[in-house]
Structure 1
Amino acid sequence: MSAGSSAGQRAAALRAQAVPRGLKRRFLAAVGMDREGARLAAEARQWEAGKVGEQRTAAMLTPLGAEGWAGFYDRVIPGLDRANADYVLVSPGGRVFMPDAKMRHGRARIRVVAGRLMHGDVDEDRQIDGVLTEARFVGQTLGVPVTPLIAVHIAPVDGGGFILRGVPVVPADRLVELLRRNAGVPDPAAARTMWLRADQKLPRYVEGGGR
C-alpha cells in the first residue's frame, strides 16, 4: 500500500456518505441546509489534504532509499485502536523514525505559545501528544526507541523548526536533512534486522478493517 492510501480511502468513504439520500436529506440539500452532508464533506476535505501531505512527504523521502533507508507506509500500530503510522523509517544505522506530515495553510505560522503547539491562534498541541503516543506504542512493539517528527507543509514554522516536548517540528523541506543528520553509524546487520522486524510486526493498514 502506498503513502496516503488509507487517508484517500477515508476521504472517499466520507464523500459517499455526504451524498444526500432519503427524502429529508435531499430536501435539506436542495435548500442548502444539509448540515450533516456539509460536515461530512468538510471532514473529507481534511482527509484529502492529509493524503496530499503524505504523498508529498513520501516523494521527499524517496532519495533515502538509495542511501540504505527502508520505508514502510500505512502500517498498523499494535495496541492503538484504528491508528496507523503514515511512515515508519529505518535508517542505515538501524534507528527508527516516525515522521508525521501535516498540511496547514500559510496564512498563519506554526509556533509555540506557553508551551503549546499553535497554528496561528489555533491550538494544535494534540498533534504532539498524538505522535508521542504512536511512537511509544511502535517502540514497544519493535523493542527499540522510536523518534517521532512533525513535518509541516505550506505553513511557515517559527525559527525554521523547533523541538517541543522532545518532538522536532520542521518545515517539510527540512525533513530529509534532519533524518540524515540523525541516521547513526551505518550498521547493515542491525538495519536489516530492524527492517524485517518492522515489516513483520507492523501489518499493513486497511481503512475500515485495521489490517
Structure 2
Amino acid sequence: MSTAGHGARQQQAAARRSVEEAERKLAAARAREHAWSAGAAGEEQVADTLAGLAQLGWVVLHDVAWPGRARANLDHVLIGPGGVLVVDTKNWSGTVTVDTDRGLRSNGYRKTKEIEAVQTARQALLTLVPALPPEVVAGLICLAAQDQEPVLLDGVVVVGRGQLLQHVLQRSAVLGAQAVMETAMTLGTALRRQPQDRIPAQAGPGRAPRNTAKPRAGSTRPRKRPARSARAGVLKLAAFGVVLGALVLFPDEVWRAYMSVVTAVVTPVADDLTQDLLGNVVPTTAPAP
C-alpha cells in the first residue's frame, strides 16, 4: 500500500533532475560565452598593439580565413620586412608558464594542442607563398594578459602582448618593400573570408529533403521543385472538381454563364475578324455605273 504523497514525491524528483540538467547546460553555455568574450577582447587588444606596424612597412591582416578549414580563422597575419608571421592570441586567466622543458601551461594544464595548431597554420600559409623560403614564415602565440619574453617551443614563439611589438621589429629583414606588397596582395586575396554555403535543412517527419543538387554545367533547365509541382497539381484537380460539380448540380446556371462569357468576349472578336475578312475581299464584278 503506497503512502500519502508518494506519487507527488516521484514527480518532484523528476522535476529536480530536469532543473539540475538545465542548470548544468546553462553553466556550460555561460562558460562558452565567457571564453568567446575573453578571446574577442584579447584579439582586440593585440590588434591595438600591432596598429603602429603599418607606418613601419608592415601589412597586418586580422581575423582571416584559415586555408582548408571552413569554420576556423587566423587571428592575425603580419607581412613585413621580418617575414610572414601568423599570430594566435590567447587571453588566458590565472597562472601561465612557459618553459622549454615543461612546455606551455595554463593553470597547470599543458597546452600542446595550441602549439600544434599554430604549427598547422604556419604550414597552411607556406602553401600559399611557395616562392618564399620556409624560414621566412613563422608562427607565434601571443599571451594577451601576461608579460612574457619570447620563448621558442617546438618551432613556435610564445610571447607576451607587451613584448610582441618589440619582438616583431627585431626580426632580421628578409623581405624588401616590393616583396612585402606582393606577398600581402597574395595572402590578402587567398585569406579573404567567403560566405558560408547554406546548410540544407534536414528532413523531418513527413517532409521530403530539400533538393540542393546543382544543375549540370551548360544546362539551362531550371531546378526541379517537386513540392511546388505537387501543390500545383492538387490545385488543378480541385478546380476541375469544382467545375464538374457545378455542371452536375446546376447545369442551367452554368450554361447561362457560359453563354454570357461567349457573348461578352467571343462575339466581338468574331465580328472584328469578319469585318477584316470582308474588307480584304476583292469584288469580281465592276460596280454599276
TM-score, length basis structure 1: 0.75
**Cα distance, 1:56 vs. partner?**
0.2
1:97 aligns with 2:76: no
1:74 aligns with 2:63: yes
Q: Map residues 2-151 of structure 1 onto 2, 5 A cutoff.
A: 33-92=22-81, 95-105=83-93, 107-112=94-99, 114-143=101-130, 144=132, 145=134, 146-151=137-142
**Cα distance, 1:129 vs. partner?**
0.5
1:86/1:131 CA distance change after superposition, 3 Å: same
Structure 1 residue runs of 5 or longer lacking an equivalent are 1-23
Indicate conservation of the 8 Å contact 1:162/1:170, yes or no: yes
Deviations 1:60-89 (A, max 9, x none): 000111111101111112213422111111
Q: Map residues 181-196 of structure 1 onto 2, 5 A cutoff.
A: 181-182=170-171, 184-185=173-174, 187-196=176-185
Deviations 1:143-173 (A, max 9, x none): 233211111122354xx33110111111111
The count of residues paired between Structure 1 and Structure 2 equals: 180
1:150/1:97 CA distance change after superposition, 3 Å: same
Aligned alpha-carbon RMSD (Å) = 2.7
**Cα distance, 1:34 vs. partner?**
2.1
Q: Percent identity?
A: 25
Indicate conservation of the 8 Å contact 2:146/2:161, yes or no: no
Indicate conservation of the 8 Å contact 1:135/1:147, yes or no: yes
Q: Map residues 190-205 of structure 1 onto 2, 5 A cutoff.
A: 190-204=179-193
Structure 2 residue runs of 5 or longer lacking an equivalent are 1-13, 199-289
Aligned with 1:167 (options 131, 156, 165): 156
SS of equivalent to 1:184? coil
Amino acid at match of 2:88: D
Higher helix share: 2
Indicate conservation of the 8 Å contact 2:42/2:89, yes or no: yes
**Cα distance, 1:135 vs. partner?**
1.1
Work out which structure has the larger RCO, using CA pairs closer than 8 Å and 6 or more positions apart in sequence. 1
SS of equivalent to 1:100? strand
CA–CA distance in 2 between the matches of 1:59 and 1:203? Answer: 21
Deviations 1:71-120 (A, max 9, x none): 11111122134221111110046x21011111122x41322374432124
Tell me the residue number matched to 1:4. none
Amino acid at match of 2:114: Q
1:52/1:62 CA distance change after superposition, 3 Å: same
Larger Rg: 2
CA–CA distance in 2 between the matches of 1:209 and 1:130? Answer: 25
CA–CA distance in 2 between the matches of 1:183 and 1:195? Answer: 18
Amino acid at match of 1:154: A
TM-score, length basis structure 2: 0.56
Indicate conservation of the 8 Å contact 2:147/2:161, yes or no: no
SS of equivalent to 1:151? strand
